[in-house]
């Protein structure tokens, strides 16, 4: 007896039963209203986030120039792609910046490997550390 069709059919039926039960339990659950915000509250939070984002962009732009200068001075780096600022791993107010890029790394431009890398600075872009992603 071939058990594969029976197993496949039972998996499909279990999936259908689970989706129906989830939908049914969702209907029986309590209605939780979404919190209401006034227009002024929404505008206040958006203004703060816009100002913070603008401040991050200005400081990221100035440190990007410093990071590019660092890459250009490295002997084993023979080219790189656009530096991408990572705001999740950065803290501009405390001087921590992280950029992602791909570099041509090797002894010469003809004999290099393209590697995904990150550049980190903990002192507002004065010194940089390069790390390779696997």
Where are the chain's structural domains? 49-134
pTM beyond 0.75: the answer is no
Residue 86 predicted with pLDDT over 70 = yes
Q: Is the dihedral of CA 34, 37, 42, 45 positive or negative?
A: negative
Q: Measure the CA–CA gap between 13 and 57, rounded to whole angstroms.
A: 52
- Could you give the percent of the chain with pLDDT greater than 90? 4
pLDDT value at residue 51:
46
Calculate the average pLDDT of the chain.
Answer: 77
Confidence of residue 13 (pLDDT cuts 50, 70, 90): very high
Gyration radius from the chain CA atoms: 26
Fill in the DSSP letter of residue 109: S
Q: Measure the CA–CA gap between 88 and 99, rounded to whole angstroms.
A: 11
């Amino acid at each position: 007896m071939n058990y594969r069709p029976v197993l496949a059919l039972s998996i499909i039926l279990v999936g259908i039963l689970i989706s129906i039960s989830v939908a049914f339990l969702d209907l029986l659950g309590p209605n939780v209203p979404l919190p209401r915000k006034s227009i002024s509250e929404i505008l206040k939070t958006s203004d703060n986030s816009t100002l913070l984002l603008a401040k991050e962009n200005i400081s990221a732009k100035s440190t990007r120039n410093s990071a590019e200068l660092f890459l250009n001075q490295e002997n084993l780096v023979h080219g790189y792609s656009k530096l991408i600022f990572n705001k999740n791993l950065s803290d501009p107010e405390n001087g921590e910046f992280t950029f992602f890029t791909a570099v041509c790394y090797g002894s010469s431009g003809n004999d290099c490997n393209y590697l995904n890398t990150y550049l980190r600075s903990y002192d507002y872009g004065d010194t940089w550390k390069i790390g390779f992603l696997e």
